[in-house]
Amino acid sequence: MINSVRRHTKLKVIAAVAAALWLTSHNVPAAAVVASSSVKAVPLGMAANPATRLLYVTHSGGNNVSVIDQDSGVTVAKIAVGTSPAGVSVNPKTNTVYVANQGSGDLSVIDGGNNAVTATIPLDASPINVTVNPATGLVYVANRDSNSVSVIDGGTNAVVATIPVSEGPLGMAVNGKTNRVYVTNQGSGSVSVIDGGSNTVVATISVEADPVALVVNANANRIYVGYLGSNRVSVVDGDSNTVVATRAVGG
């Protein structure tokens, strides 16, 4: 019981780091999250569809996803998914939502038009995060306990590749312009760089301890890495795959 509480608390802290990076890199008002009475704890995952102005928030304890109108902050739907949903991502081109269910070891595929789960895809151990490249339609899932990334064809919902990465993959982001996928490896203090064309790791970047979240600025080709228990953010140059700065943020 104690270990379960500690694990849930740690996930909340990780989610807070990820949420802070996410909100600062997307045009989503924080009020959209705060105003919703359905979000009563730190969300474990958030993703927005800029075309529909809907925000998707996972609730690990409730095994569901809240759908929130970004402008009003009103919850318009709740969708039942797998066990312990964590990461969530949206393909705005297809209006499809993907949810990584860590407890049940699978990925829920949701039709954003009718809020229905259209597929459940089995994956490796503890899928904890997900990201999608709208340009290729490929979906990438970090499997935390198997140290791998699953690649899924968004058109067929088939797993087309499984890519080994370093220990404890967690944070994920895609640069659609370069077709590169970035994965933080919390256990090894590194970031894996995956070439989306060949589904291979082309670089492993050493960063500080406990990297848990990242976001990508596609126009500048910069990757920003956040850490557990730290107020520092590292800036990675996507051309050279090197850390070019590490800055303190917050108070």
Residue 204 or 23, more confident: 204
Q: In this model, does residue 41 exceed pLDDT 70? A: no
Q: In this model, does residue 76 exceed pLDDT 90? A: yes
- What does pTM read for this prediction? 0.86
**pLDDT at residue number 2:** 35
**pLDDT at residue number 27:** 46
Domain count, the chain: 1
Q: Which domain holds residue 14?
A: 2-248
Q: In this model, does residue 23 exceed pLDDT 80? A: no
pLDDT in tens, 190-214: 999 999 999 999 999 999 999 999 9
* CATH at residue 58: 2.130.10.10
For residue 194, list its beta bridge partners. 181, 201
What's the average model confidence in pLDDT over 99-127? 96
Residue 183 or 18, more confident: 183
H-assigned helices in the chain? 2-25, 31-34
pLDDT in tens, 123-150: 988 999 999 999 999 999 999 999 999 9
Q: In this model, does residue 17 exceed pLDDT 60? A: no
